[in-house]
Structure 1
Amino acid sequence: MRIRVTRDVTIPDPRKLEQFRRAPELGPSVLFFSGGTALRDTSRELIRYTHNSIHLITPFDSGGSSAVIRRAFGMPAVGDIRNRLMALADQSVKGNPEIYNLFTHRLPKDAENAALREELDAMATGVHPLVRRIPDPMRKLIRNYFYEFLDRMPPDFDLRGASIGNLVLTAGYLSNRRQLDPVIYLFSKLVQVCGVVRPTVNKDLHLAARLADGRTIVGQHMITGKESKPIPSPVESIWLTPSLDSREKVHTAIRNKVKDWIGRADLICYPPGSFYSSVEANLLADGVGKAVASNTCPKIFVPSTGADPETPGMSVADRAEVLCRHLSADAGSTDAEVLGYVLVDSKHGEYAGGIEKDRLKANGFTVIDGPLVTERSAPFLDGRAISEFLLSLC
């Protein structure tokens, strides 16, 4: 049985939001367990109210250009980290829009590798227009990372479709003794990131999933249904594995600093995104559930609208139960408070599998039903609306 101290709040709370807007540097610490791009717009809206949000990112992406980098260097994925850094960057700071344009640039997919190497050389020497527009000293710092990557790049490295931001972060990772935190910290300061972005774990691991039909699939890209056919059967369980060639289950624990971030959050959110490969994957490291349960702040699940190829036939109640079951198991108690609220829009949102409000309430969850899908965002959730609802509960 869950025991929760209840309080009356107005949601969204205009007075509280105005207070946060006037002093975002003093805003609350809202923590997100998120890996994908579904939270990008919410992050951009969030920095209007707080510069203290915490984003724990899944580094297990195994598709697209991330797969090329991971195969070449044996490292965690950095694409979602780069995406979130850019979403939280203060675009009003001189040079930041230019860095944003560079970091979000992708090399053409249909060009020859020799031509792509020439473009990368032009970035390193500073003659490429995207680099030339960046003011010093930021330009010199970024050019050094291009040289670093070119020095370490294998001769057969496939540059087609490569994200420039991912290449720069990779160079920083390799030059900092294969640690992500130093290069993330450096670029957070470089572009004035209004929040904290870190990987949940700093290890080269992959996702594996067992399906209800008995099949086991390995690799995040095989689970999402974006680069392969949608999974033919519901997911029964997921775990971490040491490589794409192994089904072996490995355990890794979150670091003390991650425990501290979870422990000091004013609100914890399981946000929209691919349910298993983005949200649930972030909870697989040992210690996550225990750290969440130890914090008495509100814990909120904001399910995605629309169809998620990873959750065929699953209602919102099904997904909430999966989250709660996994986190409670890690916390060591089924009575631990790991999830208290579920935020939905039953009027405008379309939830494949339905919501099942009565079942959510019977399981002890407080259902908050409000206008999360707006005219400008339909049929998707509105980032500003999500931000305002979450901040009102802090």
Structure 2
Amino acid sequence: MTLAAKTIRVIKGRRPKVVVIGGGTGLPVIVKSLHDQNADVTAVVTVADDGGSSGVIRDYINVVPPGDIRNVLVALSNAEPISLDVFQYRFDSSDSFFAGHAIGNLIIAALSEMKGGIFPAIQELSSLLNVDGHVYPASNTPLTLHAEFADGTTQAGEAEISAAGKQIKRVYVTETNPAATQPPAAMAEVIAAIMAADVVVLGPGSLFTSILPNLMIGNLGEAVRKTQAEIVYVVNIMTQKGETEGFTDAQHVQVLHDHLGEPFVDTVLVNIAPVPEHYLNANKYNEILLPVQHDYAALRAMGCRVISADFLRLRDQGVFHDGDKVATEVLNRAFQVHTKRER
């Protein structure tokens, strides 16, 4: 998009305010595309991840897992490329601790100790990395994700829940610190951003382990229900093993509504481009199953506006959302909703 085109995308003389809530690999893609299309972006990032480098650091130091936050910071950063390359560098040393760790994760962990929490640490790092927008952890403290399965059993831990291979009935979060006396809560800045947004975007990302952990934080979920912003859910392109096997797009939305106790999703973005047969590398992306099937009648019965288009991007033998196309539709909704409210 040209600079001239960017300057047109304003609401009453300001950039459209978009809050994106989620985690995983899809979040920084959408955040970067929204930023590139001149949105004022706030990313609210899950803090219930316990896998990979983030999980190891969390085991050593009682901090919020930093991996998803690191990638979103880079997506919104205007720092020099060499600074971002160093920040994203992952050690290939054989050292028993450093092997596989990203330098940025270690910096975030160090700043969290220095500043007394992940929230002030990320605001400091945002300034250092010249971030255009806001990156907010969903909570200032580490959270543990819990799942209740359809068979009545329970499991704690994001990675363990996905690996259980059981149908999930519901999820919820608790403070990881057993000495905590208060339920999980989002910082005031997170709530203010949601209430002031033109559009709140959920996803793309794992339904039960990337999106819902955020909404299960009491005051954050309440803000999503009460905000006047348009709530847009980006439906996953593929079903996910251990989470959404056999789900239609409408079943994804129904799970969201069930967890918050009322319908709240206004618009869903649905990919209709076919995934080429045999393109997906099932060994590399072993949690991905089949394309999500569509149930437009059920979506509309839930009060959702359906935007169906080619949102598909194929790369590295994987199936992803095209961030630019998603961002364009999100901003279109922002302007349409604003125009309607002004009438």
Contact 2:147 2:170 in 1 (8 A): yes
CA distance 1:316–1:206, shift in 2 (3 Å)? same
User: What amino acid is aligned across from residue 183 of structure 1 in structure 2?
Assistant: A
Q: Please say if 1:20 is aligned against 2:3.
A: no
Q: Please say if 1:100 is aligned against 2:84.
A: yes
CA–CA distance in structure 2, aligned partners of residues 347 and 161 of structure 1: 35
The CA deviation at 1:349 is 6.0
Once the two structures are superposed, residues 72-116 of structure 1 have per-residue CA deviations (whole angstroms, 9 ceiling, x without a partner) of 2212111111110011112xx5xx21111111111126x134xxx
Aligned to 1:43: 31
Q: Please say if 1:33 is aligned against 2:21.
A: yes
Aligned to 2:286: none
CA–CA distance in structure 1, aligned partners of residues 139 and 313 of structure 2: 35
Aligned to 1:362: 301
User: What amino acid is aligned across from residue 342 of structure 1 in structure 2?
Assistant: V
Give the secondary structure class of the aligned counterpart of 1:98: helix
**Matched ranges for 1:68-87 at <5 A:** 68-87=56-75
The CA deviation at 1:18 is 6.1
Give the secondary structure class of the aligned counterpart of 2:29: helix
**Matched ranges for 1:183-194 at <5 A:** 183-194=121-132
Once the two structures are superposed, residues 27-54 of structure 1 have per-residue CA deviations (whole angstroms, 9 ceiling, x without a partner) of 2111111111112222222222225111
C-alpha RMSD over aligned residues: 2.8
Q: Please say if 1:338 is aligned against 2:264.
A: yes
Which structure's relative contact order is higher, taking Cα pairs within 8 Å and 6+ residues apart? 1
The CA deviation at 1:243 is 4.1
CA distance 1:105–1:347, shift in 2 (3 Å)? closer
CA–CA distance in structure 2, aligned partners of residues 356 and 18 of structure 1: 38
The CA deviation at 1:388 is 0.6
CA distance 1:243–1:181, shift in 2 (3 Å)? closer
Give the secondary structure class of the aligned counterpart of 2:235: coil
Give the secondary structure class of the aligned counterpart of 1:43: helix
Contact 1:201 1:255 in 2 (8 A): yes
Contact 2:118 2:141 in 1 (8 A): no
Contact 1:299 1:340 in 2 (8 A): yes
Identity %: 28
**Matched ranges for 1:1-394 at <5 A:** 19-20=8-9, 26-90=14-78, 93=79, 96-108=80-92, 111-113=94-96, 158-177=97-116, 179-224=117-162, 230-243=163-176, 251-309=183-241, 310-327=243-260, 329=261, 334=262, 338-348=264-274, 352-374=291-313, 379-394=319-334
The CA deviation at 1:343 is 1.0
CA distance 1:219–1:359, shift in 2 (3 Å)? same
Contact 1:289 1:338 in 2 (8 A): no
Bigger Cα Rg: 1
Aligned to 2:283: none
User: What amino acid is aligned across from residue 338 of structure 1 in structure 2?
Assistant: F
CA–CA distance in structure 2, aligned partners of residues 261 and 316 of structure 1: 27
Contact 1:34 1:57 in 2 (8 A): yes
Give the secondary structure class of the aligned counterpart of 1:47: helix
Give the secondary structure class of the aligned counterpart of 1:62: coil
CA–CA distance in structure 2, aligned partners of residues 382 and 314 of structure 1: 22
The CA deviation at 1:197 is 0.5
User: What amino acid is aligned across from residue 258 of structure 2 in structure 1?
Assistant: R
Moved more, 34-43 or 370-379: 370-379
Once the two structures are superposed, residues 339-390 of structure 1 have per-residue CA deviations (whole angstroms, 9 ceiling, x without a partner) of 1111112243696451211111112111111221257798422011001110
CA distance 1:41–1:257, shift in 2 (3 Å)? closer
The CA deviation at 1:283 is 0.5
CA–CA distance in structure 1, aligned partners of residues 230 and 95 of structure 2: 52
Contact 1:345 1:372 in 2 (8 A): yes
CA–CA distance in structure 2, aligned partners of residues 50 and 57 of structure 1: 20
The CA deviation at 1:204 is 2.1
User: What amino acid is aligned across from residue 290 of structure 1 in structure 2?
Assistant: E
Gap regions ≥5 residues in structure 2: 277-289, 335-343
Contact 1:240 1:250 in 2 (8 A): no
CA–CA distance in structure 1, aligned partners of residues 269 and 20 of structure 2: 14
Contact 1:51 1:194 in 2 (8 A): no
Give the secondary structure class of the aligned counterpart of 1:107: coil
Give the secondary structure class of the aligned counterpart of 1:201: coil
Query: TM-score, structure 2 length as denominator?
Result: 0.84
Contact 1:27 1:49 in 2 (8 A): no
Question: Which structure: greater strand fraction?
Answer: 2
Moved more, 36-45 or 260-269: 36-45
